[in-house]
Structure 1
């Protein structure tokens, strides 16, 4: 329920005409809302909504990616070098990453953002927000280099095409914290054992991932694990 469906090809008109539930779900498939939010907005049972989305995935109309948040961490994959060599892919990347009503950004700006997403020896994994802050700081008073970049869409393009992979944060309750401390944040201690990822827990509590982190900071240590490089099929 915490995965986000992204429409990657049109759904046939005959299928839409024949399936009312499908029409209800597709209205809310915007590349930002996770399945639980879609079910709530459509007034559907979550299980029914998941069945519809599963059918769309099997038909190749939808891909499931992680719930986006500016505080997410990502890692670039070995395929990033292919993007650097393909003018066609670069054009697709820039076009997909444009802000509404703005010209397409320079590909090199999006590529610079992708290249920032790697672990640091001094601060660990860099979030998207931190990477954007670094790029803006390097502009040294010049125009915002990300002005024309829709950051969420640029990350979405990278994930769907396997240039990027998500790095999940798994909170683990600190030994000094009691189970009662965990209950104060709204989660049982068994969910804070380092095996449940951040977006899963945020979805369960109906919180943003930033709000979840604020609630758990001081109680938990954060363990980071990158998704496998083949976790999403190339669709765009």
Structure 2
């Protein structure tokens, strides 16, 4: 299960003779109960920082640490940091930026956020003693409280947060834990499925900044690599990362000779009003005049084995229906309403040569038309012509 953060706090400890211990709180409804706050304050200061600072070896620092407090019904996710420097009493300064949520919540998706925020604070401490000099510099104390409040609000409301202090800044994002996406292939087409307005250009690495302008739902991976002048494997790694975070999805190349078949998810389109509205906005030729839903649904239902996109365009007047066939196919693929029926040329008999003998290494039944055309730089029409002339080659549809 997932949970919003209940509150956030930072604490630091300098192992001096006095044992100075500081805690900064961002007050929320949880902390309105004074007794609960006192209990938590005493417990945490006594056990979570001092005990670890004095007894635990260095390897326990700079790693996510989850701590349960059943008395309060909470789970604490921190990232204990130890900074070794002779300017500190006993040559060390310890701090921990902690996020707190319900005891039952799953917190693994927050670990990267806590680590990145701790790294940001570590850099500020090393540069100008941002944490250790809070008592002497009240401005630093105020800024830390403001940053914690901003992180708590932004991460709970949007899942993203940008913090800036002086010339330093960091971007935080709560990500869903997903399974690794399948490898990105040269002949696939990336399609943006998330609102890009929520991102800032500086949030992307250099490769992503070069690749994004060429993602238009038409260009395949190999073409994007050429247009962006970026090495092919780097582009595929970049796109796979964007797939993982749900920014894009990969679909087959669009061609008028393609065949598609409906999936069981098409039933959802018949009853889900929001999905219907999204569909009409997505497939419309213009934003000011939407098509009728029955026309879009009828086109999807007409997709089957042996019926190409060209056949649909000839059978129905899509311009009159105000439907863009490319957008229709793309929306159907992204939402899983339809699937591509691929063609796989396969040799019938080994040891026999025909008109397309030079392509036999690719006619194993494992390479689709899209893969072969992209790899050899030929059109589907050219490949069709060669396959039709060779009696030793048959085409498997699946």
2:170 is the counterpart of 1:170? no
The 3-state SS of whatever aligns with 1:25 is helix
Give 3-state SS (helix, strand or coil) of 1:166's partner: strand
- The answer for unaligned runs of 5 or more in structure 2 is 1-185
**Partner in structure 2 of residue 224 of structure 1:** 397
Which secondary structure state, in structure 1, belongs to the residue aligned with residue 214 of structure 2?
A: coil
Which has the larger share of strand?
Answer: 2
2: distance between equivalents of 1:102 and 1:133?
Answer: 25
Aligned equivalents of 1:145, 1:177: Cα separation in 2: 50
Q: Residue by residue, what CA displacement relative to the aligned partner does 1:83-106 show, whole Å, maximum 9, x if unpaired?
A: 111222111111100114762222
The question of 1:89 aligning with 2:275 is answered: yes
Give the RMSD, CA atoms, in angstroms.
2.3
For the 8 Å contact 2:285–2:322, the answer to whether it is kept is: yes
Q: How far 1:135 sits from its partner (Å)? A: 2.5
Where do 5+ consecutive residues of structure 1 fail to align? 120-124, 137-143, 226-236
For these two proteins, the number of residue pairs brought into alignment is 210
- Paired with 2:232 and 2:217, the residues of 1 have a C-alpha distance of 18
1:7 Cα shift?
Answer: 0.7
TM-score normalised according to structure 1 size = 0.80
The correspondence for 1:23, drawn from 199, 202, 209, is: 209
> Which region of structure 1 is more displaced relative to structure 2, 96-105 or 150-159?
96-105
Larger deviation, residues 76-85 vs 205-214:
205-214
**Distance change (3 Å), C-alpha of 1:160 and 1:29:** same
Structure with higher RCO (Cα < 8 A, 6+ apart): 1
When residues 93 and 101 of structure 1 are mapped into structure 2, their CA distance, relative to the original with a 3 A threshold, is closer
User: 1:9 is matched with which residue?
Assistant: 194
In structure 1, how many angstroms separate the alpha carbons of the residues matched to 2:242 and 2:368? 25
Q: Is the 8 A contact 1:74 1:127 kept in 2?
A: yes
TM-score of the superposition, structure 2-length normalised? 0.49
